[in-house]
């Protein structure tokens, strides 16, 4: 049985990490998840993905320390998207929603941070625990968390391993929505359907610009957006979908997107 399960619902790809040992992630699992995200990237019929964990206790406990103890090195080839298939998938232009069904610890939290939006179950907890065992959250945690939370809160979490509840992180704006565990996938699918209802090129251009301008000043971000090589953004205004969107609005009907 594969550790990574894929299901398709219209324009939505659902990716479930369902692995023994708390949905922990080794190199082979990272490669399998990367292949799933590559399917999202390459299939024009897909607009958005949901990534979640099997069961109710763990979203993911992160790096498979048993595999590490058995000799898998920390710099093992993780595949196209780096650890968990997503944390270094720099050219993925389509949005990803993390549906956090339980504890997101270490690399599991880093996987959630690599997503564009997070929906979490009420009982979910988040922590970067690496420093408590002599490691560092270098699959994106040490970089992304201080950019997403107030620096002092991020430093406290990274330097103590403290767990934060879904409600706390929602208050900080890191989590989009907190729902009862039984309603998690319904909430994630509702968000994904609202995303997928928008024009595919527009979604991809938003992510393309966001990634290209990350860390830039407002003025520099404008310059990058106007002058840099952003092929998806350049296609938007002359696209069939732009014309279709305006025609649909004028005709008071739902648009028929073609992704071109």
Rounded CA separation 247/149 (Å)? 41
Residues 201/260, Cβ–Cβ less than 8 Å: yes
177: β partners: 119
Q: Would you please indicate which residues are annotated as catalytic (active-site) residues?
A: 110, 130
Token representation of residue 118:
């997070």
C-alpha distances in Å from residue 10, one per residue of 5, 44, 48, 114: 16, 12, 10, 23
Three-state DSSP class for 104? Answer: strand
C-alpha distances in Å from residue 172, one per residue of 117, 149, 164, 228: 14, 7, 11, 32
249 Cβ contact list (under 8 Å, min separation 6): none
For 10, what's the count of Cα atoms within 13 Å in the CB-facing half-sphere?
11
172: β partners: none
| Order of strands across the sheet that contains 117-121 | 4-9, 12-17, 48-53, 96-100, 117-121, 177-179
């Amino acid at each position: 049985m594969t550790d990574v399960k894929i299901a398709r619902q219209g324009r939505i790809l659902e990716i479930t990490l369902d692995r023994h040992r708390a949905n922990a992630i080794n190199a082979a699992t990272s490669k399998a998840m990367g292949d799933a995200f590559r399917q999202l990237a390459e299939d024009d019929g897909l607009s958005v993905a949901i990534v979640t964990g099997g069961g109710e206790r763990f979203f993911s406990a992160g790096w498979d320390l048993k595999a590490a103890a058995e000799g898998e090195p920390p710099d093992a080839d993780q595949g196209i998207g780096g650890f968990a298939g997503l944390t270094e998938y720099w050219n993925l232009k389509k949005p990803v929603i993390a549906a956090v069904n339980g504890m997101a610890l270490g690399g599991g939290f880093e996987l959630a941070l690599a997503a564009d939006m997070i929906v979490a179950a009420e009982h979910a907890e988040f922590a970067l625990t690496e420093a408590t065992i002599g490691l560092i959250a270098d699959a994106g945690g040490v970089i992304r968390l201080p950019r997403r939370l107030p620096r002092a809160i991020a430093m406290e979490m990274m330097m103590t391993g403290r767990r934060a509840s879904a409600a706390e992180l929602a208050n900080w704006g890191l989590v989009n929505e907190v729902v009862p565990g039984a309603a998690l996938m319904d909430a994630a699918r509702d968000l994904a359907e609202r995303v997928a209802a928008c024009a595919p090129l527009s979604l991809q251009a938003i992510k393309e610009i966001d990634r290209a301008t990350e860390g830039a000043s407002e003025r520099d971000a404008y310059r990058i957006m106007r002058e840099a090589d952003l092929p998806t953004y350049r296609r938007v205004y002359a696209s069939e979908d732009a014309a279709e969107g305006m025609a649909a609005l004028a005709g008071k009907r739902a648009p028929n997107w073609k992704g071109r």
